[in-house]
Amino acid sequence: MSRMVMAVWAALVLGGMSSATQAQEDWPDLTGDWSGESEAVVIGDTLHHEAGDMPHLSSVMFTLAIEGQDGRRFWGTISSGEDSKPLIGVIRNDRRTIHFTDSDGYGFLELVAEDVIEHCYVHANPGSQVASCITLARQP
């Protein structure tokens, strides 16, 4: 190969590497308050929903407060009028799929738009079960 071709090839490779490194650092900013109303199916006695022995539908307003974020990792609280729990989570490499856990369950978030997240949550404990999804909007 000629020196000119090798120089161009090296520039392309190094440029691509720095772009990949830059992309690894560009995580969506999730910090702030997000709120929305849940659509849940519930059995048992839960922190946020009305208790009942039979499966029943429940809708509750929630606020997700992302208090801190470092790259793909974040932490905050999830709250309703009844209770508040700490949560921690991570953003996947696709920068849209997000996994989190709180004190008794786990969930998945999807960044639908810059200011809209779909939040789905499940838990199964001896005294309760919850399956819920919420469309959360970032609050100004």
Read off the CATH number of the domain in which 58 is found.
2.40.160.90
CA-CA distance, 60 to 40, in Å (whole number)?
8
pLDDT tens for each residue of 26-46: 999 999 999 999 999 999 866
Classify 122 as helix, strand or coil. strand
pLDDT computed for residue 103 by the predictor: 85
Greatest pairwise CA separation for the chain in angstroms: 77
| Portion of the chain with pLDDT greater than 90, in percent | 57
Answer yes or no: is 101 within a domain: yes
The contacts of residue 67 (CB under 8 Å, 6+ apart) are 31, 75, 76, 77
- Domain span at residue 41? 29-138
Answer yes or no: is 64 within a domain: yes
CA-CA distance, 114 to 28, in Å (whole number)?
8
Answer yes or no: is 22 within a domain: no
CA-CA distance, 119 to 64, in Å (whole number)?
10
Strand ranges, E, within the chain: 32-44, 52-58, 61-70, 73-79, 84-91, 97-101, 106-113, 116-125, 128-138
In the chain, the number of structural domains is 1
Answer yes or no: is 21 within a domain: no
Answer yes or no: is 76 within a domain: yes
Classify 22 as helix, strand or coil. helix
Answer yes or no: is 11 within a domain: no
Answer yes or no: is 133 within a domain: yes
Classify 25 as helix, strand or coil. helix
Global confidence as pTM: 0.74
CA-CA distance, 31 to 68, in Å (whole number)?
6
Task: Pick the closest to residue 132 from 53, 56, 27 (CA basis).
Answer: 56
Answer yes or no: is 60 within a domain: yes
pLDDT tens for each residue of 48-91: 666 667 787 989 999 999 999 999 999 999 999 878 999 999 99
